[in-house]
């Protein structure tokens, strides 16, 4: 259970959160190949990945992760996932999580893929300086939905 009046705290995501992530993922990405707990465990164990979680009253209500690509600088980065419990949408939590990922990228180029019909996520990404650079047809295997590739260059806008 979560309590709506509680402060939301953003911090490290750990292996112990994998099951809860999979729960949130199943609801938020239904029909789009949601990650099982094992996928989160793999992501958390992978060197160069950075994952953060948002908690309310001790319950995980959001998570986000980014990967650093390449073996030496200048690094590029790729947002792997970001998700907030629907009961907590529109309260600035997604923005806080994304800003944590951008802090990790430390001004490096960041890429991501987003469903072309995901207006909320696209607006969030644009607001921090991501721009659409490509269209990937049927990127999401199960639903067959298209994705935009977006890119944020060093010095992208930051709200």
Ligand X SMILES: CC(C)(COP(=O)(O)OP(=O)(O)OC[C@H]1O[C@@H](n2cnc3c(N)ncnc32)[C@H](O)[C@@H]1OP(=O)(O)O)[C@@H](O)C(=O)NCCC(=O)NCCS
Residues lying near ligand X in the complex (CB under 6 A) are found at 28, 82-84, 89-95, 114, 118-121, 123-124, 127
Comparing every residue's Cβ against ligand X, the nearest one is: 94
Nearer to ligand X, 57 or 74 (CB): 57
Please state the closest distance from residue 84 (CB atom) to ligand X, in A. Answer: 4
CA 42 to chain centre: 16
Helix axes 93-105, 119-127, angle to 10 degrees: 50
Nearer to ligand X, 33 or 74 (CB): 33
Both structure tokens of 107: 């001004």
Please state the closest distance from residue 2 (CB atom) to ligand X, in A. Answer: 14
Please state the closest distance from residue 73 (CB atom) to ligand X, in A. Answer: 26
Nearer to ligand X, 52 or 114 (CB): 114
Please state the closest distance from residue 71 (CB atom) to ligand X, in A. Answer: 26
Nearer to ligand X, 92 or 144 (CB): 92
Please state the closest distance from residue 66 (CB atom) to ligand X, in A. Answer: 12
Helix axes 37-45, 18-28, angle to 10 degrees: 120
Nearer to ligand X, 45 or 123 (CB): 123
């Amino acid at each position: 259970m979560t309590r709506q009046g509680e402060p939301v705290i953003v911090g490290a995501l750990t292996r112990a959160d994998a099951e809860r992530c999979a729960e949130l993922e199943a609801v938020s990405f239904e029909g789009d190949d949601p990650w099982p707990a094992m996928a989160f465990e793999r992501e958390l164990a992978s060197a160069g990945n950075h994952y953060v979680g948002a908690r309310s009253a001790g319950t995980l209500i959001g998570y986000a992760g980014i990967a650093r690509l390449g073996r030496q600088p200048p690094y590029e980065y790729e947002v792997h996932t970001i998700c907030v419990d629907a009961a907590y949408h529109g309260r600035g939590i997604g923005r806080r999580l994304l800003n944590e990922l951008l802090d990790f990228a430390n001004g490096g180029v960041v890429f991501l893929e987003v469903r072309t019909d995901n207006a909320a996520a696209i607006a969030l990404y644009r607001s921090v300086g991501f721009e659409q650079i490509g269209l990937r047809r049927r990127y999401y295997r199960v639903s067959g939905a298209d994705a935009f590739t977006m890119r944020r260059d060093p010095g992208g806008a930051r709200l």
